[in-house]
Amino acid sequence: MGAGAETELLSAAHAKDPAELRQAAREIRHRVDAEGTARQALEQRRKRRLHLFNLPDGMLGLEGALPPEGGVALRLTLEALTGVPPKGDRRTQQQRNAGALMELCQRQLDSGTLPRVNGRKPHLTVVVQAETLAGQPGAPPAQLEGAGPISGETARRLLCGGSVSLLTVDKKGVALDLGRAQRLASEPQRRVLMAQSRYCTFPAATGRRASASRTISTGELGADGKVVAVPPKSRGSG
């Protein structure tokens, strides 16, 4: 870096905050060493990474680094999905970012456009007993493929969220029914259900992701092992 560039950088250091100073330094470097800047960009792409690892409590940890263009794309996507926090939203920015990333993944799964993995389209698969969905005491946990045991509450929430394959089993683990990986209501069914209950009655189902699949998931398992919708007035009658 020449004397002129050093003088410019020192001048910027007196007038700019640390973030602005880093931007100025990169601009100056490109002017005096464009080839070096290009090599650095290639090195950043080579060093990009995303490490996924299981945490002891069952959560998934993430650690990584993206080149500038990937970082900006990620920020823009999360900001678009996060939107303006509603009044009373007590989530931290980190929690909102995590929620937006999960929604992004769910949208991709729901779209059905992802490449097949081992011959099938990727989707969430939950194995659960009817007793677990009903919240009966002593019922075993549901099983989320790829994660292991999850609570019955989580299983019901996943059903509210979108595309899942629900494999219902009896107490011996014998499969009763494998629901298709799609939203649980056709368009005519959705209109009827939304007329009956505008939003899913599951406590966490609020806002723009409320859908017919959320409404149906508040139903019960029929004798054939399938999830059936139960109108709100019918619940608790038996």
- CB under 8 Å to 146, separation ≥6 — which residues? none
Is the pLDDT score of 66 beyond 80? yes
Q: What was the pLDDT predicted at 182?
A: 43
pLDDT at residue number 13: 74
Q: In this predicted model, what pLDDT tens digit does every residue of 148-206 receive, in sequence order?
A: 999 989 888 887 765 577 777 777 666 665 554 444 444 444 444 344 333 344 444 43
pLDDT at residue 109 in the model: 86
H-only helix segments in the chain:
3-15, 18-32, 34-47, 68-82, 93-111, 130-133, 152-161, 187-196, 212-216
Q: Which residue in the block uniquely carries the two structure tokens 């919708």? A: 229
Residue holding tokens 């409320």? 210
pLDDT the model gives residue 229: 33
**Three-state secondary structure call for residue 127:** strand
> What is the token pair recorded at 40?
């650095």
Q: Is the pLDDT of residue 236 over 70?
A: no
Query: Does the structure show a pLDDT above 60 at 235?
Result: no
Tokens describing residue 6: 């050093």
37-42 mean pLDDT: 92
Locus of tokens 């792409």: 45
pTM: 0.67
